[in-house]
Chain A
Amino acid sequence: METAESTAIDYKELDEIIEKEFDLDKENLIMMLQAIQDRYTYLPEAALYYLSAKINVPMSQIYGVATFYSTFSLQPRGRNIISTCRGTACHVRGAETIREKLENMLCLSEGETTPDNRFTMETVRCVGGCSLGPMVKINDEMYGNLSSDDQLKKILDKYK
Chain B
Amino acid sequence: MKIQSVKDLENIRRTYARELYYPDSIKVNIGMAMCGIANGARASYEKAVKEFSEDSRVAIRQTGCIGFCEKEPLVEIFKSGTPRIIYKNITEDKISETIQSHLENKFKKDWILGQVRDPRSLIEEDIENPLDAVTPFKEVPFIEDLPFYNRQVKIVTRNCGYIDPDSIEQYIARNGYSAFFYALNELKPDEIIKTIRESGLRGRGGGGFPAGIKWATCAKQKGERYIICNADEGNPGAYVDRSIIEGDPHSILEGMLIAALAIGSSQGFIYVRHEYPLSIKRLVTAIKAAEEYGLLGDNIGGSDFSFHIKISTGAGAYVCGESTALMASLEGKVGRPRAKYVHTVEKGFRNSPSNLNNVETYANVPAIILKGAEWYASMGTEHSKGTKLFSLVGNIKNSGLIEIPMGVSLRDIVFEIGEGVVGDKNLKAVQTGGPSGGCIPESMLDIPVDFQKLTEVGSMMGAGGMIVMNEDVCMVEIARHFLEFNKEESCGQCTPCREGIKQMLEILTAICEGNGQKNDIEHLEELGSMMQKFSLCALGTSAPSPVLTTILYFRDEYESHIKDKKCPAGVCTSRFQQRGKEKSPCQ
Contacts and interface: CB of A to CB of B under 8 A. Distances in A.
Q: Does chain A bind chain B?
A: yes
A71 B584 CA distance: 23
Interface string B430-470: 01001000000000000000000000000000000101010
A36 B237 CA distance: 30
Interface residues of B, number: 58
B585 A89 contact: no
B248 to A, nearest CB: 16
Most buried by A among B34, B312, B491: B34
B532 interface: no
Contact of B331 (A27, A68, A107, A125): A27
A109 B584 contact: yes
B35 interface: yes
Interface in B224-258: 233-239, 242
Contacts of B511: none
Interface of A: 25-31, 33-34, 57, 61, 64-65, 68-72, 86-89, 91-93, 96, 100, 103-104, 106-109, 124-133, 135, 137, 140, 142-145
B335 A68 contact: yes
A89 B485 contact: no
B447 to A, nearest CB: 21
Contacts of A87: 236-237
Interface stretch (B50-58, B274-282, B533-541): B274-282
Given A31-B313, A72-B315, A104-B585, 19 more contacts: A25-B332, A30-B329, A30-B332, A57-B332, A69-B315, A88-B236, A88-B434, A88-B467, A88-B478, A91-B236, A91-B478, A93-B394, A93-B395, A100-B585, A128-B242, A131-B393, A131-B399, A132-B39, A137-B275
Nearest to A96: B575
Nearest to B274: A71
Interface string B379-406: 0000000000001111100011100000
Contacts of B236: 86-89, 91, 125-126, 130
Nearest to B400: A131
25 contacts: A27-B330, A27-B332, A31-B312, A57-B332, A65-B333, A65-B334, A68-B335, A92-B473, A92-B478, A96-B575, A104-B586, A124-B316, A125-B485, A126-B275, A127-B276, A130-B237, A130-B238, A131-B35, A131-B391, A131-B399, A132-B38, A132-B69, A142-B37, A143-B38, A144-B38
B317 A69 contact: yes
B315 A70 contact: yes
Contact of B467 (A57, A92, A109, A125): A92
Nearest to A26: B332
Contact of B314 (A29, A64, A69): A69
B142 interface: no
B78 interface: no
Given A71-B316, A131-B399, A28 B34 contact: no
B318 interface: yes
A126 B235 contact: yes
Nearest to A144: B38
Interface in B327-373: 329-335
A108 B333 CA distance: 33
Q: In the A-B complex, list the 4 residue pairs whose CB atoms are closest, starting with the nearest.
A: A87-B236, A131-B69, A69-B315, A29-B332
B430 to A, nearest CB: 11
B154 interface: no
B70 interface: yes
A130 B465 contact: yes
Contacts of B467: 88-89, 92, 130
A61 B333 contact: yes
A92 B394 contact: yes
Interface of B: 34-35, 37-39, 69-70, 233-239, 242, 274-277, 312-318, 329-335, 391-395, 399-401, 431, 434, 465, 467, 469, 473, 478, 481-482, 485, 488-489, 491, 575, 584-586
B482 A30 contact: no
Given A92-B394, A131-B70, A126 B334 contact: no
Contacts of B276: 127-128
A31 B271 CA distance: 11
Contacts of A65: 332-334
Contacts of A57: 332
Contacts of B316: 69-72, 124-125
B40 to A, nearest CB: 10
B192 to A, nearest CB: 29
B11 to A, nearest CB: 37
Nearest to B491: A68
A144 B312 contact: no
A71 B412 CA distance: 39
Contacts of A103: 585
A93 B315 CA distance: 26
B431 to A, nearest CB: 7
Nearest to A69: B315
A92 B312 contact: no
Contacts of B237: 87-89, 126, 130
A144 B239 CA distance: 15
B234 A125 contact: yes
A34 B585 contact: no
A30 B489 CA distance: 18
A126 B239 CA distance: 9
A28 B269 CA distance: 12
A116 to B, nearest CB: 15
